[in-house]
């Protein structure tokens, strides 16, 4: 195999075998990339090459929206790759959402990753991560998660029987749709009396002590799978590069992998231009925004100012600032893939913005009303696009793709609280997140069980 692992720090540049299970560079502690000796591999001459696989849908690896791009993530032999039919996702033009965002019709597209088997984009990465786990002979895999990674890991292990899964979650904060998946798919679910950061710390200890394969966000193989989200966006646009990709930012794995995808496509001569990248934080979990826009932190050729980051986190701890947003999937204050995200922003001439929970939940209602139910975190992309159009950073006619990262039913409480009677059902679930109005609410109408009254209500409408 012409694949290896490489430290992202150019002053180190350590390289390691594909069969090594590492979470960070053993020399300097930086993040690792999966890299390839492209000149020794059969690389397609154009992206249209991949169209030949459209006719092979009875082959599970060609059906997979991840593995039908195997030539661009060739770290394991195709027949060893784990698949549960991930990546059957769609890109759709949505003029109603374009109008909400302030854009011309025909210029806004939604990439609906909620259609994955476990309901979030995480399945793209899990297909690749589980493949590496099998490659190194793991018997058990574990992760800590705000919910979707656990759901995805549990699903892959449940279907493929490659490994047993253990998922660590904090108490209280996980959305029920996600917790129910981990339980239903049969993962050993450890609910720590603590928060996500506590769960994260413990899972690392446990995996070290018991030799369990860790599938958390540091795992560079997961990011290989997530590159294919961009390949499918290009595929749906007939291999034309859009002007902007807008994505919510939590642990920053997705934005990092998108950047890596474009770096590689450009290097291989498969695209001639690169889209701009917009990463959107929730205002209640805005470390990237503060570091990038407030502190001027940059990739800087790989020489990232780590002293600045350390000082920032020290200050955050001193002020006891905790991540807090209705968008639980991005409720993270110490994004593990920060440096890789800076690289993506650098290569894609990117911008970072933050949006409030009010902006997120209103955007979510507009996305839902126009046919693409999503969970709150996903709506940060559309709310962010709206903000960038208002600022004049994104042009009304520029082609924008917003990534909808997770399915609507992941977090039904947020939806019902917005549309229905929050106080009654949820004890001010919206209010604690600073959400004051529900401008696009579609409230249920309560009527007596009486035909005339029901007819009256319907005539009024």
Which residue minimizes CB distance to ligand PLP? 406
User: How far apart (Å, rounded) are the C-alpha atoms in residues 368 and 387?
Assistant: 19
In the complex with Zn ion, the residue whose CB is nearer, 302 or 434, is: 302
Binder of residue 329, out of Zn ion, ligand PLP, none (CB less than 5 to 8 A by kind): ligand PLP
Residues 28-87 close enough to bind Zn ion by CB under 5 A: 28, 30
- The helix-helix angle for 176-184 and 148-160 (nearest 10°) equals 20
Does residue 337 contact residue 249 with C-beta atoms inside 8 Å?
A: no
Q: Does 12 contact Zn ion by CB under 5 A?
A: yes
Binder of residue 87, out of ligand PLP, Zn ion, none (CB less than 5 to 8 A by kind): none
In the complex with Zn ion, the residue whose CB is nearer, 25 or 404, is: 25
Binder of residue 330, out of Zn ion, ligand PLP, none (CB less than 5 to 8 A by kind): ligand PLP
Does residue 299 contact residue 345 with C-beta atoms inside 8 Å?
A: yes
Strand partners, 120: 406
Q: State whether residue 164 is helix, strand or coil.
A: strand
Residues 375-414 close enough to bind ligand PLP by CB under 6 A: 375, 377-378, 405-406
Residues 299-358 close enough to bind ligand PLP by CB under 6 A: 329-330
Binder of residue 254, out of Zn ion, ligand PLP, none (CB less than 5 to 8 A by kind): ligand PLP
Q: Please, what is the minimum distance in Å from the beta carbon of residue 15 to Zn ion? A: 9
Q: Does 25 contact Zn ion by CB under 5 A?
A: yes
User: How far apart (Å, rounded) are the C-alpha atoms in residues 101 and 12?
Assistant: 44
Does residue 69 contact residue 62 with C-beta atoms inside 8 Å?
A: no
Sheet holding 213-214, edge to edge: 188-191, 164-169, 140-144, 213-214
Q: Please, what is the minimum distance in Å from the beta carbon of residue 223 to ligand PLP? A: 9
Residues 201-260 close enough to bind ligand PLP by CB under 6 A: 248-254
User: How far apart (Å, rounded) are the C-alpha atoms in residues 360 and 381?
Assistant: 8
Largest CA distance in the chain: 77
Does residue 345 contact residue 352 with C-beta atoms inside 8 Å?
A: yes
In the complex with ligand PLP, the residue whose CB is nearer, 148 or 333, is: 148
Q: Please, what is the minimum distance in Å from the beta carbon of residue 248 to ligand PLP? A: 4
Q: How far is CA 166 from the centre of its chain?
A: 21
Please give the size of the binding site for Zn ion, defined by CB under 5 A.
8
In the complex with ligand PLP, the residue whose CB is nearer, 226 or 358, is: 226
Does residue 326 contact residue 376 with C-beta atoms inside 8 Å?
A: yes
Neighbours of 30 (CB within 10 A): 21
The residues binding ligand PLP (CB under 6 A) are 120, 122, 148, 248-254, 329-330, 375, 377-378, 405-406
- Could you list the residues that contact Zn ion (CB under 5 A)? 7, 9, 12, 14, 25, 27-28, 30
């Amino acid at each position: 195999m012409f694949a290896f692992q490489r430290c992202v720090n150019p002053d180190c540049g350590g390289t390691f075998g594909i069969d090594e299970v590492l979470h960070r560079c053993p020399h300097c502690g930086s993040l690792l990339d999966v890299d390839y000796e492209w000149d020794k591999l059969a690389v397609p001459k154009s992206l249209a090459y991949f169209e030949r696989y459209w006719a092979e849908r009875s082959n599970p690896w060609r059906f997979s929206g991840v593995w039908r791009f195997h030539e661009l993530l060739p770290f394991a032999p195709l027949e060893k790759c784990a698949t549960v039919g991930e990546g059957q996702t769609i890109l759709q033009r949505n003029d109603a959402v374009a109008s909400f965002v302030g854009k011309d019709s025909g210029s806004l597209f939604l990439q609906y990753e909620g259609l994955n088997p476990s309901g979030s984009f995480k399945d793209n990465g899990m297909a690749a991560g589980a493949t590496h786990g099998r490659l190194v002979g793991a018997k058990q895999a574990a992760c800590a998660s705000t919910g979707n990674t656990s759901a995805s890991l549990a699903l892959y292990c449940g279907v493929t029987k490659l490994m047993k899964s253990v998922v660590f979650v904090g108490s209280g904060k996980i959305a029920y749709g996600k917790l129910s998946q981990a339980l239903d798919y049969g993962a050993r679910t450890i609910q720590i009396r603590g928060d996500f950061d506590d769960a994260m710390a413990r899972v690392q200890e446990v995996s070290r002590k018991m030799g369990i394969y860790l599938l958390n966000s540091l795992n560079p193989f997961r990011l290989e799978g997530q590159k294919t989200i961009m390949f499918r966006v290009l595929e749906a646009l007939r291999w034309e590069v859009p002007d902007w990709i807008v994505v919510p930012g939590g642990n920053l794995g997705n934005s990092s992998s998108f950047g890596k995808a474009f770096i590689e496509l450009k290097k291989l001569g498969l695209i001639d231009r690169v889209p701009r990248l917009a990463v959107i934080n929730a205002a209640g979990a805005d470390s990237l925004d503060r570091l990038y826009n407030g502190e001027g932190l940059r990739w800087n050729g790989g020489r990232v100012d780590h002293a600045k980051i350390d000082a920032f986190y020290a200050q955050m701890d001193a002020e006891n600032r905790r991540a807090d947003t209705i968008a639980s999937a991005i409720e993270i204050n110490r994004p593990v893939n920060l440096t890789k995200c800076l690289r993506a922003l650098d290569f894609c001439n990117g911008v970072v913005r933050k949006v409030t929970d009010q902006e997120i939940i209103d955007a979510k209602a507009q996305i839902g009303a126009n046919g693409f139910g999503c969970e709150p975190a996903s709506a940060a992309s559309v709310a962010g696009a709206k903000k960038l159009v208002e600022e004049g950073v994104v042009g009304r006619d520029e082609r924008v793709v917003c990534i909808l990262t997770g399915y609507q039913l992941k977090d039904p409480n947020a939806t019902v609280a917005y549309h229905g009677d929050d106080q009654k059902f949820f004890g001010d679930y919206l209010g604690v997140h600073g959400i004051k109005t529900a401008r696009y609410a579609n409230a249920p109408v309560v009527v007596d069980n009486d035909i005339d009254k029901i007819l009256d209500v319907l005539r009024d409408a």
